Structure 1
Amino acid sequence: MAPSSSSSWLRLRVLVLVACLLPSFIQCKIRIYKFNVMVTNTTRLCSTKPAVTVNGLFPGPTIFANEDDHLLVKVVNQVQYNLTIHWHGIKQLRSGWADGPAFITQCPIQPGQTYVYNFTITDQRGTLWWHAHIGWLRATVHGALVILPKLGVPYPFPHPDSEVVIILAEWWKSDIETLINSAMKEGLPFQVSDAYTINGQSRPISNCSSEGGFSFPVEPGKKYMLRIINAALNEELFFKIAGHSLTVVEVDATYVKPFKTGTIFITPGQTTNAILEADLGTGNYLMAASPFMAEPVPIDYTAATATVHYSGTQSSAATTLTDLPPRNATPLATAFVDSLKSLNSQRYPARVPLTVDHSLLFTMGLGFNPCATCIHGSRIAAYFNNISFIRPEISLLNAHFFNISGVFADDFPGNPPIRYNYTGEQPTNLRTMEGTRLYRLAFNSTVQLVLQDTAMITPENHPIHLHGMNFFVVGRGLGNFDPEKDPSNFNLVDPVERNTVGVPSGGWVAVRFRADNPGVWFMHCHLESHTLVGLEMAFVVDNGQGPNQSVRPPPRDLPSC
């Protein structure tokens, strides 16, 4: 294992600088960042508590890069918890060792240790993000990853005058790791957050000088691109600005056909770029993020708010308010999702697989499994095809690369073990199976995957994120997927391309993708309350022909378990 001391990092930086002086590196595009993961006393909601942060910031630092840049990010773990960082939406072509999910592609970075994430951004541009991918640390360990086009390549829409990152998140007053560990041990429901935040601030609070809310200054007549990220742990959100419409131009770092909307719908894990035109001349206007719940629960959720402030307006001027959508505004969310279409231009074509090698149906939902330490003798579980995922003791990618037996099985079922009315009357047995079971794909094979919500315990929305590969959302509906009728309505021309898709409560989503990235790729619900109890699985994609279609060997400083 390579040394991880400061001197080793300095030597690496020197090697990079020397390489950039060589003739073959006329345009050196290597970007180096350092993440110090530390405990910081952070003030929110007029109270101060220690929180795990990167470089003392909440949200964490924004990484800027251009398409085709190579990134080296040294992560130094200075906290008591094991840690990993996931570069959400980066395809990690042949570089799965840098993907980040704990025990999937790497063992965690243990306290006092370091790891250099080493990867190239290939054929991607737009807004992505990074976050911790172990436990619930991503509540405060997250930040934006802005990928600009190659030098000289314009946006496929009028260039904005300025850009701003907008990160939506949640905040807990108590230590979140303590809360979830207690809930898991006792089998109790997870505590909901105390507030939503916009760029780390919740909303103006009277008699609290530290909580004025985020303020976004604009110049009349100028256009601004908002790079919106939903970093919340458990909440799908609406986003809007009083008195203004927004023109959506990109989601999940893929361009879309531009369309105007008054309200953006965004699930945890997703990103949306939208153009704000400051066309009202003067005033203060409320920016708000509020929750969406198809099945609302009786909890009082307060929206996070910020202010769009026109230059020249008195700071004491009244703020124009906006009507927040009802929490269960399903038609509004559906209308937004249905408006998303790939740009599908000559430069940015939609390469939708038209033939399918694997036709899969994954049901998802909640159940109950026995728990000896729990108050009621059981705890909630979540599943794909009735299998609650169990993370191994060494990383799956390591086991796959070195052909280590006994770590996982490659027999994950391509269809539910029992067919029934998934959104109607449910089976009485609420137990799930448990295991570390993967689905194996040949390199370059094509997949159609239908993700079907069930009414087991209760129907729920599920934002599903696939690592390592984007997919095209070719169909969506409520009720049970009909394999005879529904495919005739699939959009195979310009479906939106994403890395995270929201499966509607009591409904289904169909996606297609090509397995052109060898390695082990995690797929999971991006609601941490579901991921933690088993709504996860992984695909193993075999190597193709030749070294350019094979997983690279692991780096020397890869953490060990």
Structure 2
Amino acid sequence: MAARPYSTAASGRFDNTTVIGVLEYEGANITSSLKVLPVPPLPRINATSYVANWTNGLRSLASSRFPANVPQTIDRRFFFTVGLGTTPCPKNQTCQGPTNTTKFAAGINNISFVMPTTALLQAQYFQRLNRLYTTDFPTTPLNKFNYTGTPPNNTMVTTGTKLVVLPFNTTVELVMQGTSILGAENHPLHIHGVNFFVVGQGTGNFNSTTDPSNFNLVDPVERNTVGVPSGGWVAIRFRFDNPGVWFMHCHIETHITWGLRMAWVVKDGKMSNQKLPPPPADLPKC
């Protein structure tokens, strides 16, 4: 098996060599010594179309005996734009943004997440919420534009600690749309606390009228991280049956520091095993 990284940006800033591994099945009858095989031709490091076609072919191991537990009915639908932006450069600082007066930022639905000074999970358990965050994270972009076309003139993001609050056992459909602001780029998005099913993806802007008819609700692949395609979109479905506060963020570390993250609050259920447990008595304090 041979593999190499996939990246739509910064292709020369990390080790992009090829890795090779050997998969040996237990109980196989190995009659000849292992031979070093030539490395097969691999796609370019930024081969977006190749990656999209390959990932579209992934399927779960679902069967009639063990069907994929894809939510068929949805309680809440969300449409999130994912991408870069700018924010004003602080006074008396030199920033490396697109202009001398701005610095790079990132956000979801144009909101760059600000980390609070107190742990959100701790605040959720002790119901000390009002001072830390608001619950008005938008379900759709506040400012609509051609997400994969010519970017808007104003690339400024807003900042805040805004969260989505959901009842226990809520089924969610989330479409994440990549943007072309400061360049289209693949963003690997990870959600803590839940696995999800990748039911669809495509290029360009998501069409809420025609694209859902092509969703795979039978045997989609189950993940906890998915790449929002460069110049495209991805749709996922999942059930939030895990009470707590769960971060969703880009796995590119620079983008995390720029604010490409948000959090979901899942309320307690009615049963005793559906409630957020208290922090342990020996939990170290910061």
Whether TM-score is above 0.5 comes out as yes
Aligned length: 272
* Deviation sequence 1:17-73 (CA, Å, 0-9, x none): xxxxxxxxxxxxxxxxxxxxxxxxxxxxxxxxxxxxxxxxxxxxxxxxxxxxxxxxx
* Deviation sequence 1:111-149 (CA, Å, 0-9, x none): xxxxxxxxxxxxxxxxxxxxxxxxxxxxxxxxxxxxxxx
Q: What residue identity is the alignment partner of 1:324?
A: L
Q: Which has the larger radius of gyration?
A: 1
Contact 1:296 1:327 in 2 (8 A): no
Give yes or no for the alignment of 1:379 onto 2:118.
no
Give yes or no for the alignment of 1:553 onto 2:278.
yes
Structure 1 length-normalised TM: 0.46
Among 267, 273, 291, which residue is 2:5 paired with?
291
Q: What residue identity is the alignment partner of 2:94?
A: C
Q: What residue identity is the alignment partner of 2:227?
A: G
Distance between the aligned counterparts of 1:324 and 1:495, measured in 2? 25
In the other structure, the counterpart of 2:191 is 466
Contact 2:112 2:258 in 1 (8 A): yes
The structure-2 alpha-carbon separation of the partners of 1:546 and 1:306, relative to structure 1 and needing over 3 Å to count, comes to closer
What's the CA shift for 1:371?
A: 2.4
Contact 1:296 1:328 in 2 (8 A): no
Distance between the aligned counterparts of 1:299 and 1:549, measured in 2? 44
Root mean square deviation, CA, Å: 2.3
Contact 1:462 1:503 in 2 (8 A): yes
In the other structure, the counterpart of 1:535 is 260
In the other structure, the counterpart of 2:66 is 348
In the other structure, the counterpart of 1:443 is 168
Distance between the aligned counterparts of 1:543 and 1:436, measured in 2? 21
- Structure 2 residues not aligned, in runs of 5+: 24-29
Among 47, 58, 77, which residue is 1:359 paired with?
77
Contact 2:11 2:45 in 1 (8 A): no
Contact 2:199 2:216 in 1 (8 A): yes
Give yes or no for the alignment of 1:494 onto 2:242.
no
What's the CA shift for 1:424?
A: 0.9
Aligned sequence identity (%): 50
The structure-2 alpha-carbon separation of the partners of 1:300 and 1:475, relative to structure 1 and needing over 3 Å to count, comes to closer
Distance between the aligned counterparts of 2:126 and 2:108, measured in 1? 27
* Deviation sequence 1:83-132 (CA, Å, 0-9, x none): xxxxxxxxxxxxxxxxxxxxxxxxxxxxxxxxxxxxxxxxxxxxxxxxxx
Relative contact order higher in (CA < 8 Å, ≥ 6 apart): 2
The structure-2 alpha-carbon separation of the partners of 1:558 and 1:420, relative to structure 1 and needing over 3 Å to count, comes to same
* Deviation sequence 1:184-216 (CA, Å, 0-9, x none): xxxxxxxxxxxxxxxxxxxxxxxxxxxxxxxxx
Q: What residue identity is the alignment partner of 1:374?
A: T
Among 219, 238, 242, which residue is 1:517 paired with?
242
Contact 2:48 2:230 in 1 (8 A): no
Distance between the aligned counterparts of 2:113 and 2:8, measured in 1? 26
What's the CA shift for 1:347?
A: 4.6
* Deviation sequence 1:139-197 (CA, Å, 0-9, x none): xxxxxxxxxxxxxxxxxxxxxxxxxxxxxxxxxxxxxxxxxxxxxxxxxxxxxxxxxxx
Q: What residue identity is the alignment partner of 2:7?
A: M
Q: What residue identity is the alignment partner of 1:368?
A: T
Give yes or no for the alignment of 1:327 onto 2:38.
no
Specify which structure has the higher proportion of strand: 1
Distance between the aligned counterparts of 1:302 and 1:445, measured in 2? 40
SS in 2 for 1:447: strand
Query: 1:114-513 residue pairs with structure 2 within 5 A?
Result: 240-241=1-2, 289-294=3-8, 302-306=16-20, 312=33, 320-372=38-90, 373-375=93-95, 376-404=100-128, 405-513=130-238
SS in 1 for 2:220: coil
Contact 1:438 1:538 in 2 (8 A): yes
SS in 1 for 2:121: helix
What's the CA shift for 1:307?
A: 6.8
- Structure 1 residues not aligned, in runs of 5+: 1-239, 242-288
Q: What residue identity is the alignment partner of 2:202?
A: G
SS in 2 for 1:530: helix
